[in-house]
Structures are given as C-alpha cells and as structure tokens.
Amino acid sequence: MKKYIFVAFVAVLSVTCFASYSFGIDKGKKLLILGGDCVACDLSGAILQGASLQGASLKRANLQGANLTGADLRGANLTWAYLGGASLKRANLSEADLRYANLRGADLTGAKMKNAKINGYTIFCNTKTPWGLDNSGCK
C-alpha cells in the first residue's frame, strides 16, 4: 500500500511541476534558459544569480529588481532594457551593449564593464557603479 501511495505522490508532483513549466509560469525565464534569448520579455524580479547569459539577447527586456549577482553577461545585448533596482553586483558586463538601457537604482558594485557599450542615453540615475555613485540621466 505504501508503494502505491508513493507512486501516486510522485505522479502528482511530476504533473504539477510539468504543468507549471509548460503553461506559462516564469515563461520569460524558460525562454531565456532554453534559447539564451528573451527579447522584450518580462524577467522582473527573476533570480538569475550566477547565470551564464554570455551573448544573450535581452533587448527591451524588463529586468526590474532582478538578481543578476555574479551573472556572466559578456557580450549580451541589453539595449533598451529596464534594469531599475536590479542587482548586478560582481556581474561580468564586458562588451555588453547597454545603449539606451535604464539602470536607475541598480547596483553594479564590483561589476566588470570592460568595453561595455554605453551612450548618452544610458540612464545611471542613483546607480552604484564600479566608479562610484552615478547620477547621470536623472531628470
């Protein structure tokens, strides 16, 4: 009898996990994991700590409040991405494209940004950067 209860429990757990994965819970995160690209997707509040996202296309993605601490974002496309309040501590943003990105209130303490592409439209308002507190782009 215990064997059947255990099998039933595992079956219900498996179906529940499969259903949550297949029917849209964390859809943006699923797309990112499967293909490395998540253009204009919603990853707000996502926990991507230490994630390997090298070369990922996150153009226009909503990463508000996401935890990207220690993430590898080398060469990632983050143009027009919203990273407000995101944690990018110790993230590797070398050669990442941050043009037009909004980093308002983000924490880039210890981030590597060698050859990162930024322009006059990249917002660093109240942003903790490797070079100190940056308030460029505040209006």
Q: CATH number of the domain that 136 lies in? A: 2.160.20.80
- Here the tokens at position 17 are 């996990």
Rounded Cα gap, residues 49 and 71, in angstroms: 6
State the residue range of the domain holding 73: 37-139
Q: What total of structural domains would you count in the chain?
A: 1
User: What is the pTM for the complete model shown?
Assistant: 0.77
Per-residue confidence (pLDDT) for residue 33, from 0 to 100: 54
Per-residue confidence (pLDDT) for residue 32, from 0 to 100: 59
pLDDT digits (tens, 9 = 90+) for 19-73: 334 334 454 555 455 556 899 999 999 999 999 999 999 999 999 999 999 999 9
From residue 56, give the alpha-carbon distance in Å to each of 68, 86, 119, 128. Answer: 13, 17, 20, 23
Per-residue confidence (pLDDT) for residue 34, from 0 to 100: 54
- Kindly tell me if the per-residue pLDDT of 17 is higher than 60: no
